[in-house]
Structures are given as C-alpha cells and as structure tokens.
C-alpha cells in the first residue's frame, strides 16, 4: 500500500510539474528590421515604371534609393533613443525631399510619391519609426 501510494504521489507530482511548465508565459520576440525588409523597401522605391523618367534620372534615383534605404536601417539599428532616431530620420527625410525635388520636379515628385506610398503601404507597419518618412 505504501509503495503504490508513493508511486502515485511521484506520478501526480510529475504530471503537475509538466502542466505548470507547459503553461509558462513566454515573452514575444521583438522584431528588428531585417535585410529582407530593406530589400522590399528598395524594391518599392526603385519602381519607376510608368513615370516617364529619363535613363539619367532613373540611375540617379536608384543610386540615391540604395543609400537612403541603407541609412534608414542604419539609424533604426543604432543604439540611440527613439527621440534621437526621429531627429536623424527627419534630417534624412529633409535631405531626401530636396534631392527628389531637384531631380524630378514637383509634378513627377507627386506621381512618384503616390506610387511608392501605395507600394510601401502593406509593410509600412514593419518599418517602425521609419514609416514617418513615407
């Protein structure tokens, strides 16, 4: 009788411990922007079909897009506070706006901005602080 009670107690404790472990709360992983997201952003920024850009404008825009996307993810991956990152992103956005205005002019800039905003919309929430640039 003592032997079966002892085995039953061990079995009960083992089951109880197993259930308690299985129900432990796990903290969700924080997503950090990845190279894949940078690639998606660059693909959206480089899509200039239907805008009627010259070959020179297209090549300059794509070169700037690569630098721009790289800078965004460099800032997001940095160690600064959110406020510091927002400041850096605002400066970067201002420089980008000046470049685009001088390269495309106001009419083409409006068309380009509408086009990329539509392409970026599906993954805009993944960009975090950088979404304020679009």
Asked if pLDDT for residue 109 goes beyond 70, the answer is yes
CA distance 81 to 114: 31
Whole-model pTM over 0.75: no
* Angular region, 105: left φ>0, alpha ψ -120 to 50, beta rest: left
Find the domain containing 39 and state its range.
35-133
Q: Is residue 9 part of a domain?
A: no
Task: Give the integer Cα–Cα distance in Å for 112 and 64.
Answer: 14
Whether 27 is covered by a domain: the verdict is no
The answer as to whether 92 is a domain residue is yes
Residue 19: inside a domain:
no
- 2, 16, 45, 46 from 42: Cα distances, Å: 72, 52, 5, 6
CA gap 85, 80 in Å, rounded:
6
- What's the rounded mean pLDDT across residues 102-114? 93
Any domain includes 72: yes
Do the domain assignments include residue 127?
A: yes
Instruction: Give domain status of residue 82, yes or no.
Output: yes
Say what the pLDDT of residue 66 is. 95
Residue 60 has pLDDT above 50, yes or no: yes
How many domains, in total, are found in the chain? 1
Q: Would you state the pLDDT for residue 80?
A: 85
Task: Give a yes or no: residue 94 inside a domain.
Answer: yes
Cβ neighbors of 57 (< 8 A, separation 6 or more) are 103, 104
Q: Which two tokens stand for residue 25?
A: 């709360």
Cβ atoms of 47 and 115 closer than 8 Å: yes
Burial of 3 from C-beta contacts in 10 A (0-12 / 13-18 / 19+): exposed
Half-sphere exposure of 127 (CA within 13 A, CB side): 22
Each residue of 34-45: pLDDT tens digit? 568 889 999 999
């Amino acid at each position: 009788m003592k032997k079966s009670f002892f085995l039953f107690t061990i079995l009960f404790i083992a089951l109880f411990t197993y259930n308690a472990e299985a129900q432990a709360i796990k903290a969700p992983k924080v997503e950090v922007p990845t190279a894949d997201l940078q690639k998606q952003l660059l693909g959206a920024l480089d899509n200039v079909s239907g805008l009627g850009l010259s070959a020179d404008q297209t090549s300059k825009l794509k070169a700037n897009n690569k630098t721009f996307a790289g800078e965004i993810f460099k800032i997001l991956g940095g160690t600064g506070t959110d406020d510091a990152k927002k400041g850096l992103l605002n400066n970067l956005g201002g420089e980008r706006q000046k470049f685009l205005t001088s390269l495309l002019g106001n009419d083409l800039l409006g068309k380009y901005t509408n086009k990329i905003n539509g392409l970026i919309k599906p993954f805009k929430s993944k960009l975090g602080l950088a979404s304020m640039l679009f």
